[in-house]
Amino acid sequence: MKLAVISCIHGNLPALDAVLADITQQKAEKIYCVGDLVGYGPYPNEVVERIRTLNIPTCAGCWDEDVVEGLNACECSYPSLLAEKRGMAAHAWTNQEVTPETREFLAQLPHSLHEGNLCFVHGSPYSAHEYLLPEMDAFVAMERVLSTGADVLFCGHTHVPYVRSLDNGQLQIRITSPSIDSEQQLNFTAPFQQIINVGSVGEPRHGRPNATYVFYDTETKQVTLREVSYNYQKTCAAIIEKGLPPIFAWRLAKGLEYAERAEDPTHVCAR
Amino acid sequence: MKQLITAVAGLPGVGKTNWIRQQLTQQPTLYFSPATRIGIDQTRLAAEFPHMQFLADDQQAQLGSFLASGVNAYLELGYHLDLAQIAPILDTLNCHRVAIVPAGMQETSDWEEWADEMITGSSGAIDANSLWVANTTGHVIDPDSLEVFWYELTQGAYGTVSRAKGIFELVDGLSVYGDFVAGLQPQDFDELNLPRWLEGRPQRLSGIEVWGNQLDEAAIAQTFQDCCLSDAVIHHYQQQVKEILSQEAMV
């Protein structure tokens, strides 16, 4: 089966529509979305409506959670004081903008989705707020994938797409316990696992305004990172017109997300 | 040795202060930059060359007596000053006039007319037509936010910036200098050779100076403000830094 996986749309409808058009052209049989439909961008209700109308299986992103539950992310969500202030301004705007229907839809999104040996989450299987960065410790990365029972873990949240293969990882565990006479040593070789970060549709951070998503073939296991150009000026104009901070428009046009990502790969979110 | 008074002029960003830095020796030296709205260059040089003497604007009357004491003196003349108006004063001082002009500058006749010596400097802010200056003394900035603010500022988020420089107080008590000239390789912030300030808001100069076009001054000021820390947070971090430093001292 040919799958398209999208993430981090952040209220950017022109970007979403361009990506959906590209997905149609690529002849994907199914689309998954790993969250963050809202936040920062000017079209939160329209994006939710589009996802809902198309019946795209979607899991909750950190922003989707925060809009439903109130802003209670731990400080790791923001790498700087400036980012935090911008995030809070965006949250206040989004919170005021979303309709009850949008909020209701976001509230029923699951934390993760599964299909065969594939798992879909926003941040990590542990939390929608946790970053699975490409440089994350291999043991922790392996643990995160194994905890899902899947072989391939799709995620988003970092806004930078990547594919990480955890191939033939050998784990060695020594167990000592007062109730056991001698030490036990367990060895096993983990199977081939992959973490696929699908990037961001509506708030890219790779230095270009283009939207990114992933195309995945379950038969051949081929992963294709897609980059789609769209009319980002339209989104930039709407950001300003709707009263969001103009710096969001400038950053979007530069291919820089509005709030940057947390830099510490060893940090485990305490949320 | 003959006493030397050198007046240095040029466009913003051509490297006037850097050229003076290169000339400095251990001999008694005086630095005076008249009518600067904030003394960023002076503060930077004072941190690097503690043996130097500096004159503030309100000490201008003492210039003569300082010069009479036989020090070498550098007068850095900001681009906002009218050199024709200053010429008679410079004549009374009998100083050597140095003009630093941008590399590749076509029209240099005005400078040639004014200067005794022409030196080629950096590209400078040839097209800049507006200047925004803020004295930020007492403000303490979050370092990660400073990186973002400086990047956005220098890359055009708040208007076209040709030249920017600033001194910023960080939450760990250190003071850093930021320097940007359009067209030149971006530089990291330089730590100034000043003691850590770990008792409340720093009472030493920090500030920012930006040359450019169509600057959104309100947005620059607001963004800078958004990067600054509250009294409670400053106190919290200062206690932590003091604890770490005392532990290090015990090892």
Q: What is the CATH superfamily name and number for domain A2-163+193-254?
A: Metallo-dependent phosphatases (3.60.21.10)
B130 touches chain A (CB under 8 A): no
Distance separating the N- and C-terminal Cα atoms of chain B:
49
Q: Indicate the average pLDDT of chain A.
A: 89
**DSSP of A158-183:** SSS-EEEEE-S-EEEEEE--TTSSS-
pLDDT in tens, A35-46: 999 999 999 999
Residues of B whose CB is below 8 A from A239: none
Task: Tell me whether 0.90 is exceeded by the ipTM.
Answer: no
Domain ranges, ordered by start, for chain A? 2-163+193-254
Distances in Å between the Cα of B211 and the Cα atoms of B6, B43, B135, B182, B196 are 25, 19, 15, 10, 30
Residues of B whose CB is below 8 A from A85: 226
Closest residue of chain A to B150, computed from CA coordinates: A82
Closest residue of chain A to B153, computed from CA coordinates: A247
The whole-angstrom distance between A96's CA and the closest CA on chain B is 22
d(CA A210, CA A187): 45
The whole-angstrom distance between B150's CA and the closest CA on chain A is 12
> What per-residue confidence (pLDDT) applies to A269?
53
CB count in 10 Å sphere of residue A178: 5
Least confident among A224-238, B15-29, B81-95: B81-95
Mutate to test the interface with B, among A75, A76, A78, A82 (most CBs of B within 10 A): A82
The whole-angstrom distance between B157's CA and the closest CA on chain A is 6
CB count in 10 Å sphere of residue A246: 15
> What per-residue confidence (pLDDT) applies to A261?
60
> What per-residue confidence (pLDDT) applies to A136?
86
pLDDT in tens, B120-147: 988 777 778 889 999 999 999 999 999 9
Beta strands in chain A (DSSP E): 2-6, 30-33, 112-115, 118-121, 152-155, 162-166, 170-175, 184-189, 193-197, 211-217, 223-228
Residue B9 is encoded by which pair of tokens? 């002029």
| Beta-strand pair B160-169/B207-213 | antiparallel
The whole-angstrom distance between B187's CA and the closest CA on chain A is 20
pLDDT in tens, A46-57: 999 999 999 999
pLDDT in tens, B176-222: 999 999 988 888 999 999 999 999 999 999 999 999 999 999 999 99
Contact B152/A85, CB-based, under 8 Å?
no
Instruction: Choose among A80, A86, A260: nearest Cβ to B142.
Output: A80
> What per-residue confidence (pLDDT) applies to B188?
94
> What per-residue confidence (pLDDT) applies to A168?
66
Instruction: Choose among B145, B155, B156: nearest Cβ to A81.
Output: B145
